[in-house]
Amino acid sequence: MVKTYFLLLWTWTRAAAAYPVSFVMMVVLGFVIAAIDVGVILIIFANTTSLAGFSREEVLFLYGAANLAFTICDTFVSNLDRVSGHIKAGTLDTFLIRPVGAWIQLATDRFMATRIGRIIQAALVLGYAVAALGLGWERAWMIPVMVVTGVVIFASLWTIAGALQFVLTDAPEVVNSLTYGSSQLTQYPFSVYARDLVRGVTYVLPLAFVNWQPGLYVLGRDDPFGTPAFMRFLGPAAALVLALVAALIWRQGIRHYRSTGS
């Protein structure tokens, strides 16, 4: 299954690389567009020395960690948000009759390798922040854990968003608020948000485990909302639970799909 997934990715990548100039330009463009978010953060800190008690480098660290996880998912699984388009066009049936899982086929359909520029941008921001903060390995070991946790959480959200389109076939933008909306939410310290919202994205939708809770551990900061310290280490468990829920919802969506007959 994994081999099939990467084989499909390679097929689309070879097709895009057949036009090398266009390929490189799209990678660079993706890098530049992604840098706009960093520009916003820099503009904020051009007018203040802290944001909700966090320095510029700390905010860049939280942004880099969350955005690295998000851009990886945006590159490798975001095409799941095209489910409604396939349903309307009657092409979803072709995915269901092939000897490969529909999830893998949909995730790799029209794969855009040029999005790698966004991943590079996020990785560079995270690397700069880690170096500027001088983080020691006694806490920095959590960084790869939080990135992998974030990848699983965002991939799960994309899976749920795709599954919901079996019902909400005319509202892909609504379900995409789970994905792109979640990305925007995690770009800043959660201390800028209301307490009730933070509780919701901690105990209901576990976005706090993408970068906030583990990030507090890495930075050696106390949670301004008084969350117990052990919560810093629950990211993998929260990601696993959400992944299982997403798999169940996806399976139910496939089961309740009614063929167009095309």
- The per-residue pLDDT for range 184-232, each reduced to its tens digit, is 899 999 999 999 999 999 999 999 999 999 999 999 999 999 899 999 9
Tokens of 28: 């660079």
How much is the pTM?
A: 0.90
Residue 255's Cα: distance from chain center in Å? 26
Cα separation, 143 vs 152, in Å, equals 14
Residue 61's Cα: distance from chain center in Å? 16
Supply the pLDDT for residue 261. 58
Task: Look at residue 262 and tell me whether its pLDDT is greater than 70.
Answer: no
Cβ(102)–Cβ(95) below 8 Å:
yes
**Extents of the domains making up the chain:** 2-256
Averaged pLDDT of the chain: 87
Cβ(63)–Cβ(187) below 8 Å:
yes
Cβ(42)–Cβ(57) below 8 Å:
no
Supply the pLDDT for residue 260. 61
Phi and psi angles of residue 142, each rounded to the nearest 5 degrees, phi first: -70, -20
Q: Is 35 helix (H, G, I), strand (E, B) or coil?
A: helix
- The neighbouring-strand residues paired with 54 are 51
For residue range 140-171, list pLDDT tens digits in order: 999 999 999 999 999 999 999 888 888 876 66
